[in-house]
Structure 1
Amino acid sequence: MNKISNFFKVATLTAAALSAIPAVAATVLTYGEPGPNRGARAGATKWFAQEVNKRSGGDLKIDIMWGGALFKSNASRQSIAAGVVDMGTIIPDYFPKEMVSASLTNLPFENLDPWVGLKANYEHMQSPEVINSLAEQNLAFVSSYMLSSVIILCKGDAVRSINDIKNKKIRGVGTFGKIFGDLGANLVSMSIYKAYQGLGNGLLDCSQGYMSATIALKQHEAADSLTKLNWGIYTGLGMYINKKSLAKLSPSQRKVLDEVGADFINHIGQNVVKADNKAEHLLTQGINGHKLEIINLPAEDSAKLYLASQSHITKWKNEAQKSGLDGKAMIENYRKFLTKYSQERDLKGYPWTR
């Protein structure tokens, strides 16, 4: 009996000791997002975090800080590079010199297909030139968002032709904004997250925007019209990670992050198409009494916008070359990627329909 009693005592003590050993904690990556916790992009970001958690078996988690809680859009690059957060969203157009390699796909190339643009951008971002340029800033690319076709929201007089852009106070960003300036607009420096107030208080006549983001940012409440410019898409908005944070991950964790980053392209491509169609329908029908006039810019005016874009593509090439990059080759390769994925879509359809 004593032997049996001693056996159970030892077993009990062993079990207690084992239970006292803490489980290996999951690695948690903090993520800084300047946008609000609503809308298509927020939903996609949540999907990314959920997939990372699921595929890693809970070994890798992402903690998202919404609404610019830790840094604003114009401080994202340096904040992520300095380790204020491990990961975050960067809009390269806020950093034209430092992130010239990543801003190529924010130029108005002749493509209006979200999935094609995302796939071409993802391949561009995997090129050695881009990887090395980002590494010098303690950054690495993870995946891309996209904001669909560029639209313009106006309070008061609408933009029905490119002639209507002249003398309007317009919030613009990147090359699209600069071209509004070329066409005679009075550019106003303002974050997209403040455009609601700008339209409401008269600081802005119009604001460059994106279809589904209009509802997420509630800008339909402050505008009267939305003009579809049919002029390129904006795919250079991306997820980036601090290089040191990336280096601390285990091989299996890095593999999960890479796989989810690649799959995110198809996920968000499908979602953007759906979200834009839904947003246009809702904005046309009206939301809580707020109804926008939806205008399609005439095809000849869209062609003029593309023509006005060419000098800026050339300027990007020259700036890239000043940074030691082969700007000409990068533009040629990106155009090839756009053709490649346009042909894949035409032959096979979208991945989610195969």
Structure 2
Amino acid sequence: MRFPKLAVAFAASLSAMTLAVPAMAGMKLNFTDQSPNRGARAETTNWFAEELEKRTNGEVKMEVHWGGALLKAKAAAKGIGDGAADMGFLVGVYNPGLHPAFLLADLPTEYSDPWASTRAFYELNTTNKVLQEEWSDLNLHFIANITTGPIQLVCKDKAIASLDDLAGVKMRGISVYGKVAKDLGSIPVKMTAYDTYQGLDTGLIDCTMFYSYAIPAFKLNEVATDVTMLDWGALMALAIVMNKDAYEALSPENQAVVDELGSQIVDVYAQKINAANAEAIDDLKTAGTVTFSDFPADQKTQLLDASKGYLDDWKAKASKSGIDADAVAADYMRLLKKWDGEREAKGYPWAR
């Protein structure tokens, strides 16, 4: 039987389209991040993108849009949920009404180790029904969380060796940690991290809360005279999330890759942040430009006691959202103890 030339051409075209389907099955995910492409978090994000493409055999690729080019920081949660971006980094405190349970991790606890704390909060987000529903309601799939690392105190002409020394100190604080310092007698000064160099240099502030790895990056060692190692808590309501619809569009195998990488981010990032903290402190001590003080253990206990009222405030606000705040907090504390215990018993996973 003969086929007209047009029919043959149509069949050939249809065949070509059929053969092209597998190539079209790939997915490119747009990732939004408000920060520049540098530092431990950027390195971890780039690692995630490379591993995602490799482990999915090129089926899933990720393009990162840095510097808020795709979505600004405050728009990240809703924007990713609405599909303006497929994935991205969000900061819980920018939209407190959206994240009543998630914001628990920004509160001070007795645990400040970056790996143990992050691993505990990762498990809470992936196993606790309250957190899971909170993400689902935003049309988001939780991938991983990171931490700023413990907070230290950087000062000029002020040696802070006890809580009593905070009285009258002009202080740039960080989130609830700054509020606790105010409660203990410091004078809060609202200022961005980028202005702290000039603030210390001119005397506008006496001290600033800062992270160890960021001290040399912001050149605070050039103007500071004292660093008190508070090793106090951390901001941890920081997450990498994915649009739920985009996640569900992936094959089960590729979903498993995303989730596996999310868990591994905890180890990859914590190793980087620990190394950056240690290197920064070692370099500063070698240079001898600042005097270091360790905050006494009894003072750290008092500092934690002074912050307990903010946990009560969180519970009250979270409860108004219909959350069993006591149960969520208890679950979190259990996991913090569990993972810090594993760290003490076995060390870090990358050193085992």
TM range (shorter): 0.7 to 0.9
Cα distance in structure 1, aligned partners of 2:207 and 2:70: 28
Report the Cα offset of residue 87 of structure 1: 2.0
8 Å CA contact 1:122–1:144 kept in 2: the answer is: yes
Query: 1:127-146, CA deviations, whole angstroms, 9 ceiling, x for partnerless residues?
Result: 11011112222323210112
8 Å CA contact 1:49–1:61 kept in 2: the answer is: yes
Is the deviation greater in 108-117 or in 76-85?
76-85
Identify if the C-alpha distance between structure 1 residues 110 and 143 changes in structure 2 by more than 3 Å, giving closer, same or farther: same
8 Å CA contact 1:32–1:88 kept in 2: the answer is: yes
State how many pairs are aligned. 339
Aligned twin of 1:260: 261
Cα distance in structure 1, aligned partners of 2:342 and 2:228: 30
Counterpart secondary structure, 2:69: coil
Q: Identity, % of aligned pairs? A: 35
Cα distance in structure 2, aligned partners of 1:76 and 1:200: 35
Structure 2: state its 5+ residue gaps. Answer: 1-11
8 Å CA contact 1:39–1:215 kept in 2: the answer is: no
8 Å CA contact 1:105–1:234 kept in 2: the answer is: yes
Corresponding letter in the other structure for 1:39: G
Report the Cα offset of residue 227 of structure 1: 2.2
Counterpart secondary structure, 1:148: coil
8 Å CA contact 2:221–2:289 kept in 1: the answer is: yes
TM-score relative to the length of structure 2: 0.84
Identify if the C-alpha distance between structure 1 residues 184 and 317 changes in structure 2 by more than 3 Å, giving closer, same or farther: same
Corresponding letter in the other structure for 2:45: T
Aligned twin of 1:322: 320
Structure 1: state its 5+ residue gaps. Answer: 1-12
Cα distance in structure 1, aligned partners of 2:280 and 2:83: 36
Cα distance in structure 2, aligned partners of 1:235 and 1:315: 18
8 Å CA contact 2:147–2:238 kept in 1: the answer is: yes
Cα distance in structure 2, aligned partners of 1:247 and 1:264: 21
Corresponding letter in the other structure for 1:309: S
Report the Cα offset of residue 216 of structure 1: 4.3
Counterpart secondary structure, 2:319: helix
Aligned twin of 1:343: 341
Q: 275, 297, 300: which one pairs with 1:299?
A: 297
Query: 1:174-203, CA deviations, whole angstroms, 9 ceiling, x for partnerless residues?
Result: 321221222233334444455456556665
Identify if the C-alpha distance between structure 1 residues 349 and 93 changes in structure 2 by more than 3 Å, giving closer, same or farther: same
Counterpart secondary structure, 1:110: coil
Is the deviation greater in 167-176 or in 276-285?
167-176
Identify if the C-alpha distance between structure 1 residues 340 and 137 changes in structure 2 by more than 3 Å, giving closer, same or farther: same
C-alpha RMSD over aligned residues? 3.1
Matched, 1:93 2:93: yes
Identify if the C-alpha distance between structure 1 residues 230 and 242 changes in structure 2 by more than 3 Å, giving closer, same or farther: same
